[in-house]
């Protein structure tokens, strides 16, 4: 019980509330942008705003899982997660669906997933693991090369799709 209290106590609730507010504003913007009198319910899951609501609920579930998982899990599996994200970026080049001239999505029925979004998280995780290594000296040229390699590999794979907007996030 004490651990549960410390988890809830350590959460930055202002950031959580701002995140919820931004999600709500984004959801309302999607609703207003594609409003159709035939589909006037904001909870119509056949429309874009309804599908976005499903992803909002999924985000809450994922956030809960991330908060509950012990931090050592992320430390232990950071390079594995990074490797899987690199493989998914390679796979989307071969098997992805082309949308608006960019082959950057996996299509599973009515659900489309963009591996570049997961690569952002995986890259941040791998970079944090590398930078937190014992005796890591960031001022060395070798460390700079490793850091650039961790960042440039997914950015380059995303740029090839081409999805320059997502690739720029890495810089």
Helix, strand or coil, per DSSP, at residue 46: coil
Which residue blocks in 34-140 are alpha helix, DSSP H? 48-68, 71-95, 115-131
Count Cα neighbours of 53 within 13 Å in the Cβ-side half-sphere: 12
pLDDT tens across 73-104, in order? 888 999 999 999 999 999 999 998 888 788 88
pTM: 0.74
Residues facing 105 on adjacent strands: 97
Average per-residue pLDDT for the chain: 86
CA distances from 158 to 40, 55, 82 (A): 37, 23, 14
Statement: residue 17 has pLDDT above 80: yes
pLDDT value at residue 2: 55
- By DSSP bridging, strand 97-99 and strand 102-108 are antiparallel
Average pLDDT over residues 59-76: 86
Angle (CA) 104-19-85 rounded to 5° is: 30
Mean pLDDT across 31-40 = 78
Q: What is the dihedral of CA 127, 129, 131, 135, to 10 degrees?
A: -150
Token pair for residue 155?
């950015």
The pLDDT value given to residue 147: 92
What's the rounded mean pLDDT across residues 136-144? 86
Question: Could you tell me which residue, 92 or 135, shows the higher pLDDT?
Answer: 92
Higher per-residue confidence, 42 vs 62: 62
Residue of 54, 164, 76, 166 whose CA lies nearest to 119: 166
Q: Nearest 5°: CA angle at 55, between 44 and 49?
A: 30
């Amino acid at each position: 019980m004490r651990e549960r209290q410390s988890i809830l106590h350590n959460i930055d609730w202002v950031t959580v509330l701002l995140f919820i507010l931004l999600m709500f504003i984004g959801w309302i913007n999607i609703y207003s942008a594609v409003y159709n009198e035939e589909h006037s319910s904001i909870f119509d899951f056949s429309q874009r705003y309804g599908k976005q609501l499903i992803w909002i609920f999924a985000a809450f579930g994922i956030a809960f899982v991330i908060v509950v998982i012990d931090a050592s899990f992320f430390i232990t599996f950071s390079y594995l997660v990074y490797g899987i994200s690199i493989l998914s970026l390679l796979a989307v080049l071969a098997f992805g669906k082309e949308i608006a001239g960019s082959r950057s999505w996996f299509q599973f029925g009515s659900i489309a997933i963009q591996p570049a979004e997961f690569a952002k998280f995986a890259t941040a995780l791998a970079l944090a693991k590398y930078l937190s290594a014992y005796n890591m000296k960031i001022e060395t040229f070798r460390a700079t090369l490793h850091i650039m390699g961790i960042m440039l590999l997914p950015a380059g794979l995303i740029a090839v799709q081409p999805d320059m907007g997502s690739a720029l996030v890495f810089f």
